Structure 1
């Protein structure tokens, strides 16, 4: 009798041990199956913070470093237009195949970018991302017009690639020589001073065509603008400033204040909506006025 009880006890212990092993195996299988079936959602979701500055962005930019922009500078179309959007290292461009010039060019300029050391490239090239036939350097030769940069080469000194891309002909417009070398250039210099003083400025510029049949130059019939616009946002938290400028494509030499207008007026002239990422209450207020020209010191 005692032997039978001992046998039953041993059998019960063995069954309990087997059940224990099965439970462990089941737990391992369940854990492995769960980790296999449930993907890491963090890898599936977009990075919702990609536009926020990171520690890497605060470091000096190099020629191989990607620029992360807030997109504050990118305008929205208020009217239909021919365009091809081209995203460059240092700027974004809307190209118009009818005029053979940009509709607009927009970029963010930071204090660090004004301190770059990339040498001026000075080699105008057809844009490789546009279909042929493409505007060439020779289209401007002996035309009487300068090859006027929209995004200036001096704003791209922080990257060799950005500097080279600023000389693509898609970033160029036929510009009066005196305008390009005097007042337009003065505003470019002033924007760099604002970037150094305030940390960041957002800029968009481009041609304005008032005539239905503008003058054309070169083999590829590049349209000559009647005017040029530039808008600038100093997004100072305490006192954001939005400025508009309109330049006749003609020889003038006068103070920048003479070219100033409200951003609202530039929007009416261009059919573009600038700085739309601002809260409406701020955008509506600062774009309706013509502010005093900020000091660059």
Structure 2
């Protein structure tokens, strides 16, 4: 009888051990399943979250458009497939595909000067790190843009995030006696809130005599919008006349120009028409704009900048040599 009891106990122990091992195996399997399920749930949650984020906060289309425009600007085709008015495809000399691919408003430095090319939604500029102001700022102004009221004037003066290296700061202008004068005017960018805000980047600002900024310069900006509304698309370039004897101001030594320029062209009646202004950094009182109009090539000589250089040379020569006031005033 004792031997039978011992045998039964031994059998029970083996069964118990086997049961325990099975339970442990089942527990491990269950834990593994739970872990896998949790990982799957977290993964699904992440994908759902990213989808909702993209749905609720889509990427700004303007950024994609800017990249597209920049790609087009820096990768012109080798052969010409479009002729400007007055040319044939055989005689055209510029590598262009269509008017949309040609940035007519762009300028090119001829004088040796620091330059960083920057492109924003509404304008492009050549930035001068030595004087912390632009060499030139250029943009296209259409009739629709000139009359748009989509975006109210809004912005505060801040450094341009695209500028590499030295930059002007808001305080460089404080208590200097000069206004923070826009080059590409905020009034030309009411078609886009982003374009409006970007006109307040300090790369687009120059020290201006307060009565010039609020007077003749403002009159010229308003006149450009009126011309765009009347004639259609204008191509505009503007900036300070940079000279070695310019005074500087502020902690960051911002250049104070003695003169500003603005050059403008548009296409009408099978011809390009151009006009330019050289304006001193002073109060002009009630001076008429008409008395200050000059040919574009005179501004090119003073500034060392080639304006509208992407137009064929023959068209540039004719347009830049004279001002036909009947088309402008």
TM range (shorter): 0.7 to 0.9
1:256: how far off? 0.5
**Residue aligning to 1:273:** 306
1:132: how far off? 5.0
**Residue aligning to 1:225:** 257
Distance in 1 between residues matched to 2:316 and 2:152, nearest whole Å: 37
Distance in 2 between residues matched to 1:293 and 1:272, nearest whole Å: 26
Distance in 1 between residues matched to 2:121 and 2:170, nearest whole Å: 21
**Residue aligning to 1:94:** 126
**Residue aligning to 2:107:** 75
Structure 1 length-normalised TM: 0.74
Residues 277 and 237 (structure 1), Cα distance of their counterparts in 2 relative to 1, 3 Å cut: farther
In the alignment of these two chains, the number of paired residues is 237
Aligned structure 1 segments of 4 or more residues deviating by more than 3 angstroms: 45-53, 293-296
In the alignment, is the contact (CA less than 8 A) between 1:232 and 1:243 conserved in 2? Answer: yes
1:149: how far off? 0.4
Give runs of aligned pairs for residues 250-261 of structure 1, distance below 5 A.
250-253=282-285, 254-261=287-294
In the alignment, is the contact (CA less than 8 A) between 1:114 and 1:192 conserved in 2? Answer: yes
In the alignment, is the contact (CA less than 8 A) between 1:257 and 1:293 conserved in 2? Answer: no
Q: Deviations over 1:233-283 (max 9, x none)?
A: 012242421011000111112001222111110000011111222232222
Q: Deviations over 1:118-166 (max 9, x none)?
A: 1111311111112355311111111100101000000011111100110
* Higher Cα radius of gyration: 2
Match of 1:244 among 269, 276, 279: 276
1:79: how far off? 2.1
Q: Deviations over 1:162-219 (max 9, x none)?
A: 0011000000000111111111111111111111111100000000134x23211111
In the alignment, is the contact (CA less than 8 A) between 2:133 and 2:206 conserved in 1? Answer: yes
**Residue aligning to 2:266:** 234
In the alignment, is the contact (CA less than 8 A) between 1:69 and 1:108 conserved in 2? Answer: no
Q: Tell me whether 1:177 sits opposite 2:210 in the alignment.
A: yes
Distance in 2 between residues matched to 1:100 and 1:237, nearest whole Å: 40
1:293: how far off? 5.9
Q: Counterpart of 2:268 in 1: which secondary structure? A: coil
Q: CA RMSD in A?
A: 2.2
In the alignment, is the contact (CA less than 8 A) between 2:296 and 2:320 conserved in 1? Answer: yes
Distance in 2 between residues matched to 1:51 and 1:181, nearest whole Å: 41
In the alignment, is the contact (CA less than 8 A) between 1:149 and 1:173 conserved in 2? Answer: yes
**Residue aligning to 1:28:** none
In the alignment, is the contact (CA less than 8 A) between 2:145 and 2:191 conserved in 1? Answer: yes
**Residue aligning to 2:221:** 188
Q: Tell me whether 1:157 sits opposite 2:193 in the alignment.
A: no
Q: Counterpart of 1:240 in 2: which secondary structure? A: strand
Distance in 2 between residues matched to 1:87 and 1:293, nearest whole Å: 34
**Residue aligning to 1:61:** none
In the alignment, is the contact (CA less than 8 A) between 1:208 and 1:225 conserved in 2? Answer: yes
1:81: how far off? 1.3
In structure 2, list runs of 5 or more residues that go unmatched. 1-74, 83-95
